[in-house]
Amino acid sequence: MIDIAGILMDNILYVILITLGGVLISWSVHFVPVGGAPAAMAQATGIGTGTVQLAAGAGLTGLITAGAMMQITDNMALVLASGAAGAMIMISVTMMVGTWSYVYGVGCPPASAKVKYDPITKDRQDLYVSQGTEGHGLPTVSFVSGVIGGGLGGFGGSMVYYALMSIENGLALPDLVGIASIFAVGVFFVNAVIPSYNIGGTIEGFHDPKFKRFPRAVLSSLVATFFCAILGVLAIGGL
């Protein structure tokens, strides 16, 4: 018989860390400038793919670097920072090459349709938006927002993985790594999907009016991840 209450009380810190990690992932997705299908036709500002897809791509790359780091150090801050660094590299390389595609492949300059002036560079935006589109490419503000989003997502994902790996259990290390990493990927997907209801296909970054809706997603993620955390802690702690 598994002592459910006992396991939960022993690992309450990790339940909190997993929940916090999930909330960070949910918040991070709002920063990632995605334009969905319209952006692939240079019809909307942002990267031409779905919210979940890009956030997961970046966050999971961060999980790989965090997993490698966790093998050689117990320093939580270092594991989380390396996860953030891995995710930031993936997302910035992707956005950089995306810019090549827009500028050299399609022949349109990066422009935002949500703001008249780029909040960071103060560059005029509306004159560079081609007719019948909602902007295209990645202006500096969207790029920086994407880097922040990737970093937060990698940080949150690594936090979930670190907490799951730290739970007391009777598993051999390779089995624990297997279960913890699959659980971390699962928690990541749950929290990457929830914000997509807020975003509704396209968001340009933190300067987009849709960004202000993030508290709703964060609250939903808090509840959803809390249950995931309890399940994860019980599943791993009970083995």
Partner 1 sequence: MEPLTGMGVLALMGAAATIAGASEDLESDVGSQSNPNSQVQLAPQMMYPHRIHSKAVSGEPPSNALMCAIGGTTASVLVSTGASAALALAIGAIVAATIHGTYAATSYLGRSASQKRFKQPVYLDVMRSHIPVIMGYSFITTFCILVVSYLMATVLAHPFPLPLLAFIWGITVGAVGSSTGDVHYGAERQFQNVEYGSGLNAANSGNIVRKAESGLRNGIDNSWFCAKFGGPVTGLAFGMTVFLSGWITAVFDPSRGDAIGWVSVIAGVIIVLILILWNRNIEVAARKAYGTYKEDENEAEVAA
Contact by Cβ (8 Å): 236, 171? yes
Beta carbon nearer to partner 1, 206 or 218? 206
**Max CA separation in the chain (angstroms):** 68
Hunting for tokens 């849709």 — which residue is that? Answer: 210
Least distance between partner 1 and beta carbon 7 (Å)? 24
Instruction: Give me the least distance between CB of 30 and partner 1, in Å please.
Output: 17
Rounded Cα distance, 33 and 28, in Å: 11
CB of 215 to partner 1, least distance (A): 27
Tell me whether residue 7 or residue 151 sits nearer to partner 1 (CB atom). 151
CB of 185 to partner 1, least distance (A): 7
**Beta-ladder partners of 117:** 124
75-93 as b/e, with b when 16 or more CB fall inside 10 Å? eeeebbbbbbbbbbbbbbe
Nearest-approach distance from CB 100 to partner 1, in angstroms:
6
Nearer to partner 1, 91 or 228 (CB): 91
- What is the amino acid identity at position 100? W
Q: Which two tokens stand for residue 120?
A: 């960071």
Nearer to partner 1, 89 or 187 (CB): 89
Tell me whether residue 15 or residue 48 sits nearer to partner 1 (CB atom): 48
**Rounded (10°) CA dihedral 217, 219, 223, 226:** 100
Distance CA 166, CA 180 (A): 10
